[in-house]
Amino acid sequence: MFKKMFAVGILGTAIALTGCESTPNAASHIQAANLLQLQNRSWIATHIGNTAIQTTPAAQNSPSLQFDAASKRVSGRDGCNRIMGSYEAGRDTLVLGQMAGTKMACLDSNNLSQQFNEALTKVTNYQVFGKTLKLLDRHGNMVLQFTAPVQPR
């Protein structure tokens, strides 16, 4: 009798513990979906704050970012120079590490690269909706907005 109760108790405990460990929650699904949309695609900047960026979409110097999931590195262009750095992303949080860049001489009469780099220093959160990425400051204000270009087939 004691052996049966002991065996049932051990079996019940094992089922309860493995059931708790393998039950995924909704928050982890949301985080995975957000990261999947953020990472491993090109993002072309369309706005700095509420101001539209006036460049042609095909221009080589358009401000852009790419987030590489495998290396946790971000790279892109600021409108003049190539930039790169590290990042950490969560469900809706985004922490950009120290950014490095090339130092090319550019004819940037509207200070686009400077404005873009200053905006990047304010980023703490992100939102992805389809082909739109918004980078937000700690107050929830949009500092940068991007679009994912349509890839030719």
Q: 30-41 pLDDT, tens per residue?
A: 677 788 899 999
Reported confidence tier of residue 128, pLDDT bands at 50, 70, 90: very high
Mean pLDDT of the chain: 83
96, two tokens: 């950009």
Give the separation between CA 118 and CA 125, rounded to whole angstroms: 15
Residue 87, phi then psi, degrees to nearest 5: -150, 155
| Residue pLDDT, tens place only, 18-62 | 555 445 566 676 677 788 899 999 999 999 999 998 766 556 678
* Residue 8 exposed, middle or buried by CB count within 10 Å (0-12, 13-18, 19+): exposed
Give the separation between CA 34 and CA 99, rounded to whole angstroms: 23
Residue range 53-74: mean pLDDT, rounded: 84
The pTM score is 0.77
pLDDT greater than 70 at residue 4: no
Nearest to 52 by CA among 61, 42, 41, 44: 44
Task: Give, for 118, the enclosing helix (H) or strand (E).
Answer: helix 112-120
2, two tokens: 């004691």
pLDDT recorded at residue 7:
59
Q: Average the pLDDT over each of 11-25, 89-103, 137-151 and give the range with the smallest value.
A: 11-25
pLDDT greater than 50 at residue 116: yes
Reported confidence tier of residue 67, pLDDT bands at 50, 70, 90: very high
10 Å Cβ neighbour count for 44?
A: 19
Q: Do residues 79 and 116 lie in contact, with contact meaning Cβ atoms separated by under 8 Å?
A: yes
